[in-house]
Amino acid sequence: MNSRIKEILSWYDSENPGVIRNLYSILMHGRLAGTGKVVVLPVDQGFEHGPARSFAPNPPGYDPIYHVKLAIDAGLNAHAAPLGSIQSMAREYAGQIPLILKVNSHDLLNDSPDPVPSVTSCVEDALKLGCVAVGFTIYPGSINFKKMYEEVREMAHEARRNGLVVVIWSYPRGSGLSKEGETAVDVVAYAVQIAAQLGAHLIKVKPPTEHIELEEARKVYEKYKIPVGTLSERVRHVMQSAFDGKRIVIFSGGPAKGREEVIEEIRQIKKGGAFGSIIGRNSFQRPREEALDFLDEVIKIYLEK
């Protein structure tokens, strides 16, 4: 074990050996093995956004096997998906790449301004399917925050007891926030702190914008001249909010967009000290060879000294 991986794992000293082993397996898999950097392919969009919106741009993506093979062939650290997808691939692929079972999901057929995802699978499913982690979405800003936080508490407790890594998608959303506020730098920093305090080992958030949503927060940012003018500065601030960088935070790619725009965003995310990226639609909505070439470029960015 090299010094960087040893340092990262030391931040989780209170965990049992099973959790440490599974966290190690994510950090030591794929082309970024041993670097402390992480790139994950998440494919829960079929449930979250609908199948046509997710997979029509690249029809092979209707098959969950397509995604796990893409993640393996690209040399990624892990692949995350809901229960049905993991069930379809686990027997053949569970040992070939670390799998993260997404244990709750939200659909758009009843798109409430205050969403609360449904718990759709459990720790027992993850263990049976050979997963190394469970993933859970929370929506800070929703009036249903209490229900979600308490569900995380129960799920995380059981996951830890069984040696599984806990991954939290912390996505601010709800009637307490404006649309612009969902990615405001103060709100994203708050969201990452909430996920860390809920016990997440690995946290997924969206890249923050320069907007400041909360007036009381604005006063603090201005008083202490917290730099948020560039994406790298905002990422650095978000990392600071995750126990001063002692929790693994990775940033989403968001809706599909032009390759150069995504690549520049990832360069800024890396410059800000993030651990990596979790890229769904910007990967799997491209034809396979183009997706592999794109992910190769992403990995090379994180490999740069």
Q: State the Cα angle at 212 between 216 and 182, rounded to 5°.
A: 115
Packed helices 185-197 and 215-223: angle between N→C axes, nearest 10 degrees: 100
Retrieve residue 160's tokens: 């830890």
Active-site annotation holds for 204: yes
Exposure pattern of 29-57 as b/e (b: 16+ CB <10 Å)? bbbbbebbbbbbbbbbbbbbbeeeebbee
What Å distances lie between residue 243 and 192, 203, 249, CA to CA? 9, 12, 11
> Active site residue: 37, 69, 204, 206, which one?
204
Q: Are 202 and 248 in contact (CB under 8 A)?
A: yes
Q: Please give the C-alpha separations between residue 279 and each of 30, 92, 163, 282, 300, in angstroms, as whole numbers.
A: 15, 23, 26, 6, 15
Say how far apart CA 35 and CA 33 lie, in whole Å.
6
Please tell me the distance from the alpha carbon of residue 35 to that of residue 221, in angstroms, as a whole number. 33
Residue 273 has which token pair? 């000290």
CA 1 to the chain's CA centroid: 25
213: which residues sit within 8 A by CB, 6+ positions away?
177, 178, 180, 181, 184, 186, 187
Q: What residues are annotated to the active site?
A: 204
